[in-house]
Chain A
């Protein structure tokens, strides 16, 4: 399924290209003997939409395909020219078909299908991120709204934010006495900072005009929050969420390599111990695609809630 990205579009384009190219030719050859005068205005009208569509299609599809093709080419060269042990794209593809033919098998605690591994990782990210959102978003609002809290917590945030989340893993193991909660704790720590910071910045950047409206209307603190603060901060908040989920997805792989159990990160480590490099490459693509889907869906969500004023 992973390698399918590389092969199927190329195969799909190859037969389509001659079909598109063939279209403009028969039209003038049919029209010309019938009525040359009438064909003159018709000629630019009928072939050009086809040509434009084909051109637009190629502009949109060709560069990404070339990019992917380039990757496959480099990959094949590296795999073929050295004895590095990196499997060829074809061998990886063959293994991927095997892996994805039964993604949800269970043959013991340390031998489960790739589907379970991804789901377990997503679950850890979901729990850790959810807890971080529960704490981080209200904290961000409080820090943004009250100068005192901002001065109080800014040094702490500046100090702790640059620390690699994995440095917190031993603390998690010590406190929670278990691999799974420790991994969740690591996700919590790494995803809380972007949410606190972005929410706080969003609150501080609420236009003064809106706050003046609130003051002139003498709105209650609850109305200010629901009608002004929250909608104004929402785009910032969603950016924070997007960054947090992105970081969490980066960190979970490393955390699971250390904690073990079931998860995509552990799967990579396990396959490395089995010297099964093709599986590792498959896992890399799976991680990339899941990350892409998460990012894309959060961007879509963010655009739904962004009320940038259209200049009239």
Chain B
């Protein structure tokens, strides 16, 4: 059953110790992600979406509960669960090529020769259309390009799971749309399992197989899971007046803005 339950999250709870005492961030999270599935986590800011993603990445460990990936407990971060960070997190002193090569070398360096590693790095950069910028440093390219290098770095590791933390959040609308289309294409080609954090309703509906909606924090939990039954490949323009698309969109908006209206914290 490991194909249908590729990632399993069972009764996960996360509590942070702060100066004001314990802060319950997540409670009772139960979720399974199938192999090759594209799942987005959506919710208001501060609801613990990124906390949940960090748990899957293994960057943090849960206060209680278990997380499994391919029937193995997630004990720490590892290259089989690649992360695309919100702020790209490229190393500014390395070129785009070197940034990707660092990941490739780590994952495949033991079994492959230099030419193969170089070919893998170049393939990853060409997948995101950045062959020409390979020798540039992150400071010399645009925000959208940096995010694409971040995606190339993650994909180059051939991860079992691709974790994305608001990868397009810092980009302008046009660049974001372009990268979403590219991501759709790449995922269709690589059949990756993706868990993505977003706060953009259209992005969630366009990309996901399922949308996991989180309630407001503190002590956030899964409020609702929506299946997006739209055939792939999906076309942004054609979907605009698709009734299923409209319906999904409406349901998410209804959840976010009617039932989970964002309340500013009093504290």
Interface residues of A (CB under 8 A from B): 209-210, 212-213, 215-219, 223, 227-228, 231-232, 307-310, 312
The reply to whether A218 and B85 form a contact with Cβ atoms under 8 Å apart is no
| Binary per-residue interface labels of chain B (106-143) against chain A in the complex, 1 for a CB within 8 Å, 0 otherwise | 11000000000000000000000000000001111111
Given contacts A213-B85, A213-B89, A219-B102, 7 further A-B contacts (CB under 8 A): A210-B89, A212-B83, A212-B85, A216-B59, A227-B94, A307-B139, A310-B139
- B87 interfacial by beta-carbon distance below 8 Å: yes
Interface residues of B (CB under 8 A from A): 57, 59, 76-79, 81-83, 85, 87, 89, 91-94, 102-103, 106-107, 137-143, 146, 157
- A310: chain B residues at CB < 8 Å are 139-140
- B137: chain A residues at CB < 8 Å are 307
The reply to whether B91 and A212 form a contact with Cβ atoms under 8 Å apart is no
The reply to whether A216 and B92 form a contact with Cβ atoms under 8 Å apart is no
The reply to whether B143 and A212 form a contact with Cβ atoms under 8 Å apart is no
- CB proximity of A306 to chain B, nearest CB, Å: 10
Option from B77, B107, B139 in Cβ contact (under 8 Å) with A309: B139
The reply to whether A219 and B85 form a contact with Cβ atoms under 8 Å apart is no
The reply to whether A223 and B140 form a contact with Cβ atoms under 8 Å apart is no
The reply to whether B92 and A212 form a contact with Cβ atoms under 8 Å apart is no
- CB proximity of B152 to chain A, nearest CB, Å: 14
- B107: chain A residues at CB < 8 Å are 217
Known A-B contacts A209-B89, A212-B89, A307-B93; the reply to A217 vs B106 at CB < 8 A is yes
- CB proximity of B130 to chain A, nearest CB, Å: 15
Q: A213–B92 Cα gap in the complex (Å)?
A: 13
- B82: chain A residues at CB < 8 Å are 216
The reply to whether A218 and B78 form a contact with Cβ atoms under 8 Å apart is yes
- CB proximity of B163 to chain A, nearest CB, Å: 9
Residue of A213, A218, A232, A312 with highest tally of chain B CB at under 10 A = A213
Could you name 8 residue pairs across A and B whose Cβ atoms are closer than 8 Å? A209-B87, A212-B59, A217-B107, A227-B91, A231-B93, A307-B139, A310-B139, A312-B143
Residue of B83, B93, B107 with highest tally of chain A CB at under 10 A = B93
Known A-B contacts A307-B137, A310-B139, A310-B140; the reply to A218 vs B79 at CB < 8 A is yes
- B89: chain A residues at CB < 8 Å are 209-210, 212-213
Closest 4 CB pairs of A and B: A209-B89, A231-B93, A307-B92, A215-B77
- CB proximity of B90 to chain A, nearest CB, Å: 8
Option from A209, A218, A223, A231 in Cβ contact (under 8 Å) with B77: A218
- A212: chain B residues at CB < 8 Å are 59, 77, 83, 85, 89
Residue of B nearest to A213 (CB): B89
- CB proximity of B95 to chain A, nearest CB, Å: 11
The reply to whether B138 and A309 form a contact with Cβ atoms under 8 Å apart is yes
The reply to whether B78 and A216 form a contact with Cβ atoms under 8 Å apart is yes
- CB proximity of B98 to chain A, nearest CB, Å: 9
Q: A218–B81 Cα gap in the complex (Å)?
A: 11
Q: A219–B82 Cα gap in the complex (Å)?
A: 13
Q: A151–B205 Cα gap in the complex (Å)?
A: 50
Q: A232–B91 Cα gap in the complex (Å)?
A: 9
Q: A258–B218 Cα gap in the complex (Å)?
A: 66
- A218: chain B residues at CB < 8 Å are 77-79, 106
Residue of A nearest to B89 (CB): A209
- A232: chain B residues at CB < 8 Å are 93
Known A-B contacts A212-B89, A231-B91; the reply to A217 vs B142 at CB < 8 A is no
The reply to whether B103 and A217 form a contact with Cβ atoms under 8 Å apart is yes
Q: A213–B140 Cα gap in the complex (Å)?
A: 21
Residue of A212, A217, A219, A309 with highest tally of chain B CB at under 10 A = A217
Q: A168–B20 Cα gap in the complex (Å)?
A: 46
- A219: chain B residues at CB < 8 Å are 102, 106
The reply to whether B91 and A217 form a contact with Cβ atoms under 8 Å apart is no
- CB proximity of A117 to chain B, nearest CB, Å: 41
The reply to whether A227 and B102 form a contact with Cβ atoms under 8 Å apart is yes
- CB proximity of A312 to chain B, nearest CB, Å: 5
The reply to whether A223 and B106 form a contact with Cβ atoms under 8 Å apart is yes
Q: A102–B26 Cα gap in the complex (Å)?
A: 79
